[in-house]
């Protein structure tokens, strides 16, 4: 069935006079989580990862993924029809320029940012924007757009009123001599207007676009059926609601005005339409990104509270898992953890589909277990569980890797686990000057692995939203991170790992808040990370002789804190298990 999709698309391209077409894994908001009707890449190729891009030519087709998805892409696609490419080692623009010189390549301007389009142009590719998407023309049973309601998100959770936020953004626009800014990221719209929704899986978005102006007024372009009267009242008179179809006319009204559009994160259609209308497009980052990333005091406390609450489910799961080897599978384990979370006050759903990988499946960084791939969790192997939850107060994300026992784990595995743990502790204990970005500190998480000639092919940390996306920009801890300085209030993950393809995977993840550091000798502001995730690390996997005294002290103090903060909320048998799991390393 999937094979016929490629044939159908090629036929449509030929009818339109196109030599090829680019299919990104994206919707019109360029987000990670998309509605079913935007899963074009999965429909075309069978690949279900959250990031990737396909290029279809008349006789060749290539699928580009990053290091997280190399194994998954090869397993899910027909490798006789789809060439497998690493998106950074073999960039799509370079591949296309070599594979089809002089060809006319179509693209949907709603699904690619100008930054990406320009990279193809710079490589010598003739890029042709299409008025409608040719893939949509052959996807006959494509699901309709979602129509879930947008709902108010109270100030008890946000800490600030929407009007205050809009006035701050407007002041920033005036300072930059800009008349307006286009917001295409649903997270930015949700944060700015203090609304949430359920249009996409795992993330409380109400899909829509907005234009915020220098007078603090906002035009919200969203299907009116998604806005009940209570929400319209909540938005207030400063927010004008218009249908999506009104966008071209609304943008035409900015003729002669200066409008900010994010060239890397907004569909190219917006900049193209504004220029055609006579507006001056100012390339710049979404003005909401940084304010949203720097959580205020209410959001920070909410994050602490939900991590403490979520920890009772995670610890309960780890206790249950101790007797699961040989009796449970990857799917049943993930289902049990979800069932535990569903009992928690305020639980709104998972923040992503849990990565439940035993043995060799743990080496697939973003493994998604299915009935076809599900396998037993066997004795004496590693099991990796990466999961998270959504609550009105915040978003969680935690990973633990556990030895299933009953025998002692092999020295090789303990060595790799401990080196990953050392990297985790290095980030958790780091002090660094204000102005440092994630790229500057990524190497600290890899140092112990590098000394043994080892590494991992993903970033060390990503930003996390406040009851928004579990993957939030603009900051990250990665060699490829944008040069955005870390700042107080930012919430990030700390998740180094190690993966042996076909054998095992290890990842250890906590979330951390950036805070001011109180250093008596500091001549300028310094920062540090406050760890807010509370769950024990598997002591059986730790090789104490590889840890320094300071690292052991951090680990013992962390485990004591887990026991003190989570233990009182647990039933007796689980609390007894946690007491043993959190005892000092030398005991």
Nearest CA among 222, 221, 199 for reference residue 148: 199
- pLDDT value, residue 323: 86
Distance between CA 465 and CA 277 in Å, rounded?
35
pLDDT at 314 over 90: yes
Domain match, 397 and 281 both? no
Cβ(64)–Cβ(54) under 8 Å? yes
- pLDDT value, residue 521: 82
pLDDT band at 57 (very low <50, low <70, confident <90, very high): very high
pLDDT band at 137 (very low <50, low <70, confident <90, very high): very high
pLDDT band at 68 (very low <50, low <70, confident <90, very high): confident
236: in domain: yes
CATH of the domain at 305: 3.90.230.10
pLDDT band at 495 (very low <50, low <70, confident <90, very high): very high
List residues bridging with 280 in a β-sheet. Answer: 258
Domain match, 504 and 577 both? yes
Distance between CA 486 and CA 479 in Å, rounded?
14
Q: Packing angle between helix 186-193 and helix 162-175, nearest 10 degrees?
A: 120
Distance between CA 241 and CA 193 in Å, rounded?
12
**Residues 222-278: pLDDT tens digits?**
999 999 999 999 999 999 999 999 999 999 999 999 999 999 999 999 999 999 999
Chain centroid to CA 315: how far? 24
CATH of the domain at 20: 3.40.350.10
225: in domain: yes
- pLDDT value, residue 196: 98
- pLDDT value, residue 88: 87
Nearest CA among 399, 586, 577 for reference residue 498: 399
Domain match, 350 and 499 both? yes
Domain match, 426 and 492 both? yes
pLDDT at 69 over 90: no
Cis peptide before 406 (omega within 30 of 0): yes
pLDDT band at 66 (very low <50, low <70, confident <90, very high): confident
b/e burial code for range 516-539 (CB count within 10 A of at least 16 → b): ebeeeeeeeebbbbebbbbbbbbb
Domain boundary among 285, 319, 342: 285
97: in domain: yes
Domain match, 133 and 187 both? no
- C-beta contacts of 442-446 below 8 A and 24+ residues apart: 442/477, 442/478, 442/479, 442/481, 443/479, 445/477, 445/494, 445/496, 446/496
- pLDDT value, residue 126: 96
Average pLDDT, the chain: 96
| Residue 492 neighbours by CB under 8 Å, 6+ apart | 438, 461, 462, 463, 464, 475, 476, 477, 486, 511, 512, 514, 529
587: in domain: no
Question: How many domains does the structure of the chain reveal?
Answer: 3
- pLDDT value, residue 482: 84
**Residues 325-335: pLDDT tens digits?**
889 999 999 99
- pLDDT value, residue 3: 86
174: in domain: yes
**Residues 79-122: pLDDT tens digits?**
999 999 999 889 999 999 999 999 999 999 999 999 999 999 99
Structure tokens at 188: 């930015």
pLDDT at 305 over 80: yes
Domain boundary among 285, 313, 328: 285
Domain match, 64 and 89 both? yes
pLDDT at 1 over 80: no
Domain match, 435 and 354 both? yes
Distance between CA 251 and CA 106 in Å, rounded?
24
Distance between CA 431 and CA 442 in Å, rounded?
13
Under DSSP, the state recorded for 344 is S
Query: In angstroms, what is the C-alpha Rg of the chain?
Result: 24
194: in domain: yes
Cβ(512)–Cβ(491) under 8 Å? yes
144: in domain: no
User: Quick one: average pLDDT of 439-459?
Assistant: 97
Q: How far is CA 378 from CA 322, 415, 541, in A?
A: 12, 21, 17
Domain match, 251 and 332 both? no
Domain match, 268 and 120 both? no
b/e burial code for range 477-502 (CB count within 10 A of at least 16 → b): bbeebeebbbeebbbbbbbbbbbbee
Nearest CA among 21, 283, 275 for reference residue 127: 21
Distance between CA 180 and CA 173 in Å, rounded?
7
Domain match, 221 and 318 both? no
User: Quick one: average pLDDT of 357-374?
Assistant: 94
**Residues 167-219: pLDDT tens digits?**
999 999 999 999 999 999 999 999 999 999 999 999 999 999 999 999 999 99
Domain match, 90 and 219 both? no
pLDDT over 70, % of the chain: 100
For residue 28, what are the domain limits?
2-138
- pLDDT value, residue 429: 98
Q: How far is CA 190 from CA 132, 195, 215, 422, 448, in A?
A: 28, 5, 19, 37, 40
Domain boundary among 285, 310, 342: 285
b/e burial code for range 276-308 (CB count within 10 A of at least 16 → b): ebebebbeebbbbbbbbbbbeebbbebbbebbb
- In the chain, how long is the greatest CA-to-CA distance? 73
- pLDDT value, residue 420: 98
Domain match, 276 and 367 both? no
Distance between CA 333 and CA 329 in Å, rounded?
6
Structure tokens at 512: 């951390």
pLDDT band at 561 (very low <50, low <70, confident <90, very high): very high
48: in domain: yes
Dihedral (Cα; 182, 185, 191, 194), 10-degree rounding: 80
- pLDDT value, residue 361: 97
How many CB atoms are located within 10 Å of the residue 470 CB?
Answer: 23
């Amino acid at each position: 069935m999937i094979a016929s999709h490629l044939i159908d698309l090629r036929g449509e391209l030929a009818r339109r006079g196109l030599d090829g077409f680019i299919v990104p894994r994206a919707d019109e908001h360029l987000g990670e989580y998309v509605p079913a009707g935007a899963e074009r890449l999965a429909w075309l190729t069978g690949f279900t990862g959250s990031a990737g891009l396909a290029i279809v030519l008349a006789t060749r087709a290539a699928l580009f993924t990053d290091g997280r998805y190399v194994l998954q892409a090869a397993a899910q696609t027909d490798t006789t029809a789809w060439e497998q490419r690493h998106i950074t080692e073999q960039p799509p623009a370079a591949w296309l320029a070599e594979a089809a010189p002089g060809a006319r390549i179509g693209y949907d301007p709603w699904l690619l940012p100008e930054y990406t389009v320009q990279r193809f142009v710079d490589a010598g590719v003739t890029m042709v924007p299409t008025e409608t998407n040719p893939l949509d023309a052959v996807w006959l049973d494509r699901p309709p757009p979602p129509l879930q309601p947008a709902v108010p998100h109270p100030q008890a959770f946000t800490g600030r009123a929407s009007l205050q936020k809009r006035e701050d953004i407007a002041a920033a626009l005036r300072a930059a001599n800009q008349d307006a800014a286009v917001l295409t990221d649903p997270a930015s719209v949700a944060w700015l207007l203090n609304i949430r929704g359920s249009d996409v899986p795992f993330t409380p978005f109400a899909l829509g676009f907005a234009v915020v102006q220098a007078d603090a007024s906002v035009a919200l372009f969203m299907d009116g059926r998604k806005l009940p009267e209570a929400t319209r009242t909540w938005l207030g008179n400063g927010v004008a609601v218009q249908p999506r179809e009104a966008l071209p006319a609304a943008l035409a009204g900015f003729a002669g005005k200066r409008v900010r559009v994010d060239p890397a994160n907004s569909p190219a259609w917006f900049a193209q339409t504004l220029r055609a209308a006579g507006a001056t497009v100012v390339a710049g980052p979404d003005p909401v990104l940084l304010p949203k990333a720097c959580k205020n005091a209410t959001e920070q406390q909410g994050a602490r509270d939900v991590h403490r609450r979520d920890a009772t489910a995670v610890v309960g799961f780890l206790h249950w898992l101790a007797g699961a080897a040989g009796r449970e599978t990857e799917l049943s384990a993930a289902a049990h953890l979800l069932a535990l979370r569903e009992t928690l006050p305020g639980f709104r759903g998972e923040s992503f589909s849990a990565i439940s990988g035993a043995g060799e499946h743990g080496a697939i960084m973003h493994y998604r277990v299915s009935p076809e791939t599900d396998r037993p969790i066997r004795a004496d192997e590693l099991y990796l569980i990466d999961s998270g939850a959504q609550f009105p107060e915040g978003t969680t994300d935690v990973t633990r890797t556990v030895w299933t026992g009953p025998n002692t784990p092999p020295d090789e595995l303990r060595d790799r686990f401990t080196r990953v743990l050392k990297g985790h502790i290095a980030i958790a204990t780091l002090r660094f000057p204000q102005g440092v970005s994630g790229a500057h500190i990524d190497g600290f998480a890899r140092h112990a692995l590098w000394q043994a000639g080892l590494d991992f092919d993903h970033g060390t940390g990503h930003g996390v939203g406040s009851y928004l996306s579990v993957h939030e920009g603009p900051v990250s801890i990665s060699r490829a991170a944008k040069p955005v300085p870390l700042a107080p209030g930012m919430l990030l993950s700390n998740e180094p790992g190690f993966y042996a393809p076909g054998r095992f995977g290890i990842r250890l993840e906590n979330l951390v808040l950036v805070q001011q550091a109180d250093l008596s000798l500091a001549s300028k502001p310094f920062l540090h990370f406050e760890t807010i995730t509370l769950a024990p690390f598997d002591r059986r996997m730790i090789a104490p002789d590889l840890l320094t005294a300071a690292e052991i002290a951090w680990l013992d103090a962390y485990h004591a804190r887990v026991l003190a903060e989570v233990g009182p909320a647990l039933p007796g048998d689980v609390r007894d298990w946690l007491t043993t799991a959190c005892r000092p390393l030398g005991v």
